[in-house]
Amino acid sequence: MLRSVDQRWSELHSGNDRKIEKYQYQLISLFAMSLKNIAIVIPCWMRPEILSLTVKQLNILCEENINKVNITVIYSLSHEDPQISDVISALNFCMHKYYVVFSDNNLLGQKVNDAITIAISLDFDYIMNLGSDDLIHPDLIDLNLPFLEMEIP
């Protein structure tokens, strides 16, 4: 049976909100699938007060770019860090998606590599490396978006 657009609209709004929610969820899922997935890898060592600022900047970055890319932050920590409890406390303010990886602190490069290994296993499109004390420019994503869209590795 063929129905007009007006009939379909009436059916959707006839008190059956689940159909609308399901349709909205499907649209959101399709939209999210088309976005590039970016992992931001951040090795951390001490200085939790500076990490707190970085976390706040990342919260803003993720929120402002929610319609452009999917961002997940991978923090690489070390149990050897004398301020590990304060560093973990700084992560309590994360409002973005994140993972925590624990690595030995023998070499900074190893901490980065361990986080990158996780990012690769989670099948991200792109991996970005930042420091726990980096200031994050608000246009970071916009500056890199043309390269992401051209799919330049």
**pLDDT tens, position by position, 121-144:** 998 999 999 999 888 888 999 998
Q: How far apart are CA 129 and CA 39, in angstroms?
A: 8
**Is pLDDT at 115 greater than 50 in this prediction?**
yes
What's the distance, CA 107 to chain centroid? 25
Average pLDDT over every residue of 139-150: 88
**Is pLDDT at 37 greater than 50 in this prediction?**
yes
**Is pLDDT at 93 greater than 90 in this prediction?**
no
Q: Supply φ then ψ for residue 97, to 5 degrees.
A: -70, 135
20-24, 35-39, 136-140: least confidently modelled range: 20-24
Q: How far apart are CA 75 and CA 91, in angstroms?
A: 9
Q: How confident is the model at residue 107 (pLDDT cuts 50, 70, 90)?
A: confident
**Is pLDDT at 12 greater than 50 in this prediction?**
no
Provide the pLDDT for residue 10. 54
Q: How confident is the model at residue 15 (pLDDT cuts 50, 70, 90)?
A: low
Provide the pLDDT for residue 108. 76
Residue with tokens 């799919």: 151
Q: Are 38 and 70 in contact (CB under 8 A)?
A: yes
**Is pLDDT at 16 greater than 60 in this prediction?**
no
Phi-psi region of 46 (alpha: psi -120 to 50; beta: other; left: phi over 0): left
DSSP designation for 101: E
Q: How far apart are CA 63 and CA 7, in angstroms?
A: 37
